[in-house]
């Protein structure tokens, strides 16, 4: 294992925390009716999540992986959390990309965010976007929070696996 792998791991954690915060900001902005700030926050959340994925996969390629070595009575709960995290993280990628595609289609049709409601093609695309994000946001938040919890657990009760 290269020493840079631990640094990459820290950078990955930092980016996913920022991604989760940007996601929460995006939800706040859209509920406040601020479409432009919502768009910026969600693009930031998506870019940071993408950077996290690159860093995470790089870290694994460098051989930095931790295994749970904590109390035996918590092992089943930890693995249930880990499995749900992995399954929903895999599902989250298409769940995030599809609504981004609808938002792009709507913005392209409208020309700008101010014209969304007056353009039927844009309105339909943003309506589809909204339907998808009702699933995406809770999954994304669950994946982010469980990832942080897993990181904390492994920080306390994890052992770097030899390669």
Is the domain of 14 the same as that of 78? no
pLDDT at 2: 57
pLDDT digits (tens, 9 = 90+) for 77-127: 999 999 999 999 999 999 999 999 999 999 999 999 999 999 999 999 999
Number of domains in the chain: 2
Is the domain of 56 the same as that of 114? no
pLDDT band at 160 (very low <50, low <70, confident <90, very high): confident
Is the domain of 53 the same as that of 77? no
* Cα 33 from Cα 23, distance rounded (Å): 15
Between residues 76 and 65, the one the model is more confident about: 76
Residue 45: domain span: 1-64
Q: Considering 27, 48, 64, which residue would you say is the last residue of a domain?
A: 64
DSSP for 10-48, please give it. Answer: HHHHHHHHHHHHHHHHHHHHHHTT-HHHHHHHHHHHHHH
Is the domain of 98 the same as that of 153? yes
pLDDT at 163: 65
* pTM beyond 0.85, yes or no: yes
Identify the H or E element spanning 160: strand 158-160
Is the domain of 34 the same as that of 110? no
pLDDT band at 3 (very low <50, low <70, confident <90, very high): low
Which of 96, 104, 105 has its CA nearest to residue 141? Answer: 96
Q: Considering 42, 64, 86, which residue would you say is the last residue of a domain?
A: 64
Is the domain of 109 the same as that of 156? yes
């Amino acid at each position: 294992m290269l020493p840079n792998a631990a640094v990459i791991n820290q950078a990955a954690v930092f980016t996913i925390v920022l991604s989760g915060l940007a996601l929460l900001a995006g939800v706040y902005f859209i509920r406040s009716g601020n479409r432009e700030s919502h768009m910026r926050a969600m693009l930031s959340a998506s870019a940071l999540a993408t950077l996290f994925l690159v860093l995470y996969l790089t870290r694994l390629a460098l051989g930095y992986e931790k295994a749970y070595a904590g109390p035996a009575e918590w092992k089943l709960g930890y693995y249930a959390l880990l499995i749900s995290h992995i399954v929903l993280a895999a599902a989250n990628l298409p769940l995030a990309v599809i609504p981004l595609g609808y938002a792009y289609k709507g913005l392209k049709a409208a020309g700008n965010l101010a014209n969304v409601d007056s353009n039927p093609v844009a309105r339909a695309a943003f309506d589809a976007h909204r339907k998808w994000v009702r699933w995406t946001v809770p999954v994304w938040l669950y994946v982010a929070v469980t990832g942080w919890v897993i990181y904390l657990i492994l920080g306390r009760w994890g052992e770097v696996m030899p390669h």
